[in-house]
Structure 1
Amino acid sequence: MKIAVTGSIATDHLMTFRGRFRDSLVVEQLDKISLSFLADELEIRRGGVAANIAFGMANLGQRPILVGSVGEDFGDYRSWLERHGVDCESVHVSDTRHTARFVCTTDDDMAQIATFYAGAMSDARLIELNPIAQRVGGLDLVLVGANDPEAMLRHTQECRTRGIPFIADPSQQLAFADGPEIRRLVDGAAYLFTNEYEAHLTEQKTGWSADEITRRVDVRVITRGSEGVTIHRKGEDVISVSVAREVRKADPTGVGDAFRAGFLTGLSGGLDLRRCAELGSMLATYVIETVGTQEYQLRQEHFLSRLADAYGADSADEISPVVACRHG
């Protein structure tokens, strides 16, 4: 299955605050907020939703096609992704802007405050999917992830026009998009991915009920943090999958991206929706155990053993032929 993953490609600057943001918030004074938090750790890591998803898929044995826009400072990052099996031939390089930056501080409750600089990502609106499809011999699925808003709309419309199934994954851009824009991103998607908060935001901004959204997309996937994930399909019972137990909690950044990577790997291998979600949840657990979104290491036997512990031997047996874990 040839899957293109579109979205942001960025460098993550991850900091840790030993305390709780909530202890410094005065509700009555939020309109005058002016705060500074002293971080005692800084990690500079590779990131961006599209790159994270593509990296995760590649580490499970896939050959995802990364689609996004970067600056000329992307050389080392490109080499890293290509070494891990990501197709970077369709990444656009801007000659005027730096690769996007994500700056995030996480407190002891795993709450986060973040800022995102778009930079070269703005040029993603210049990318057309058809030349990419021609280069690789056709596309079976396109994930439209958080990106330059015009790029997201362009990719979505092109998928509709050319009859390419697409995954709507607007993520952080939901906060900035209006109702009509979100409707254009979501309507007709083969899959819609959101977390629980984003699911409510989608309903609020579009004016569509949960049932109507389920009618407008083939499959709706809602991640619910520690409560796992639910999968909704018209006329079928809701599928609920619990999270896989983590060894430790290091940093939640990129957990949702890893879930998507596992889920898409399952789809590529022909797994049913429950197994796709179990595979995604297992990979997500590896990310929460490490600082950085692409720092985890996968070993086939260990990965399948953890899958069996989390979801049973039948799950591991069915997923085993689909994954070929690369040693990070």
Structure 2
Amino acid sequence: MISVVGHTAIDHLFRVPNLPGRHNSTYIVDHQVYFGGGAANIAAGIAMLGEKCRLISSVGSDFPGSDYDRWLRDLGVEQDFAVVKGARTATAYVFTDDAGDQETFFEWGASAAFSRAEAPALDFVHMATADPDFNVRVAQKSKFASFDPGQDLLRYSPEQLEIILANIDILFSNNHEMDRMCDMLGLERDALVDSVPMVVTTRGAEGSVLCMDCEEFRVPAVRVDAVDPTGAGDGYRAGFLTAFRKGYAPLDCCRAGAVVSSFVVEKVGTQTNLPDWDRMLERYRKVFGEPGEIIV
């Protein structure tokens, strides 16, 4: 069982010709509404890949019985939800321009309840975007933990980051988040990387980098006709964690993450084109060859 902690959200995805910048405006070309939230995206991806998954999240009174509720149940995601009466489920407003650049505005809504929630003790947990203090307590109580600060990084204090980094086994981030963490902690990148047993840094079209045991391994992105980058990182984490839980070597897990991510970007919506394990493995073999044997 993989537990995932963090946001369940409704995604409002907008296409604009350009991101206008401060004191300027633009027009909206397209507006679609999809299921989202970093933790829920990862949990849905894991469940679609066939691994048992528990989603620990906070939702509003608008969620029970909704299409999103039924979708997660149909996938087999075990819901460990706090339902906050009178609150709306968290909502993300994501604007993507013709160059693929994005800006996101996030309404926490019911997710604000994380700060008051009791942190569970978990055997295998991924901490996605969520309340910093809650994630700190989860990290301290869990046996095996991975962490992805995501767009909530700005809410963390240096002290909270230090505690989490001292209690996790895998750190996921993109290049921007890695640089921001280094600035917050006053560390060079090498020092931050050396403080965690395994670090995975995604670099968009440039692929990803795995750092462990003082070595660095580069994994190329899987080339597809990308339609929308939203959720690519969540797909990567779902693929990686599922393969890792199955016992594959970390480098093969990165490749599985890259493959799942390639499916996500082929359609608009973070959960609209998630592959099952067989579909993922078929593309994996075409790009990377046969994965290595399970090691545990």
TM-score of the superposed pair, with normalisation by structure 2:
0.93
Give the structure with the larger strand fraction.
2
Is the CA contact 2:7–2:57 (under 8 Å) kept in the aligned structure 1?
A: yes
1:300 shift after superposition: 5.4
Shift of 1:108: 0.4
Which AA in structure 2 matches 1:244?
V
Letter in 2 for 1:176: R
Match of 2:98 among 102, 108, 116: 108
| Unpaired runs of at least 5, structure 2 | none
Distance (Å, rounded) in 2 between the aligned partners of 1:86 and 1:309: 29
Residue 127 and residue 63 in structure 1: after superposition, are their counterparts in 2 closer, same or farther (change >3 A)?
Answer: farther
Q: Which residue of 2 aligns with 1:293?
A: 270
Within-5 A mapping of 1:75-94: 75=64, 76=66, 77-88=68-79, 90-94=80-84
Structure in which a larger fraction of residues adopt helix: 1
In 2, Cα distance between equivalents of 1:116 and 1:158: 28
Equivalence for 1:9: 8
Matched residues in 2 for 1:8 and 1:114: separation? 15
> Structure 1 length normalisation: TM-score?
0.84
Is 1:122 equivalent to 2:122 in the alignment? no
* AA at the equivalent of 1:122: A
Following TM superposition, by how much is the alpha carbon of 1:184 offset from its aligned partner in structure 2, in angstroms? Answer: 2.1
CA–CA separation in structure 1 for the residues paired with 2:112 and 2:130: 8
The aligned residue for residue 202 of structure 1 is 181
CA displacement 1:48-97 (0-9 Å, x = unmatched): 00000000000100111100100111122221101012111x11111131
Q: Distance in 1 between matches of 2:199 and 2:274?
A: 29
Residue pair 1:128, 1:155 contacting (<8 A) in 2 also: no
Tell me by how many angstroms 1:129 deviates. Answer: 4.0
> In the alignment, is residue 60 of structure 1 matched against residue 49 of structure 2?
yes
Per the alignment, residue 74 of structure 1 pairs with 63
Aligned to 1:20: 18
CA spacing shift, 1:204–1:227, aligned 2, 3 Å: same
Q: Is the 8 A contact 1:105 1:112 kept in 2?
A: yes
**Where does residue 30 of structure 1 map in the other structure?**
none
Q: How far apart in 2 are the matches of 1:84 and 1:184?
A: 34
* Aligned-residue RMSD, C-alpha: 1.9
* Mapping for residues 172-321 of structure 1, pairs under 5 Å: 172-235=151-214, 237-246=215-224, 248-298=225-275, 301-312=278-289, 314-315=290-291, 318=293
Q: How far apart in 1 are the matches of 2:164 and 2:260?
A: 27
What is the aligned counterpart of 1:152 among 127, 130, 135? Answer: 135
Q: Which residue identity is paired with 1:142? A: V
Gaps of 5+ in 1: 26-32, 134-138, 320-328
- Larger mean Cα displacement after TM superposition, 279-288 or 297-306: 297-306
Is structure 2 residue 159 aligned with structure 1 residue 165?
no
Deviation digits for residues 212-267 of structure 1 (CA, Å, limit 9, x no counterpart): 223321101100111111111133x2111111111x21111110000000000011
For 1:293 and 1:258, how far apart are their aligned partners in 2? 8
- Encode CA deviations 1:160-189: one digit per residue, 9 max, x unaligned: xxxx12112111122232322222222231
Contact kept in structure 2, 1:170 and 1:185, CA below 8 Å: no
Shift of 1:318: 5.0
Instruction: Assess, with a 3 A threshold, how the Cα gap between structure 1 residues 71 and 188 changes in structure 2: closer, same or farther.
Output: same
Contact 2:256 2:280 in 1 (8 A): no
Distance 1:302 1:231 in 2: 24
Q: Judging changes above 3 Å, is the alpha-carbon distance between structure 1 residues 167 and 310 closer, same or farther for their aligned structure 2 residues?
A: same
Alpha-carbon distance change, 300 to 221 in structure 1, aligned in 2, over 3 angstroms: closer
CA shift in 2, pair 1:105/1:232, >3 Å: same
* In structure 1, distance between residues paired with 2:50 and 2:106: 30
Bigger Rg over Cα: 1
**What secondary structure, in the 3-state scheme, does the structure 1 residue paired with 2:269 have?**
coil
Q: Does structure 1 residue 36 correspond to structure 2 residue 5?
A: no
SS at match of 1:290: coil
Moved more, 42-51 or 72-81: 72-81
Percent identical among aligned pairs is 32
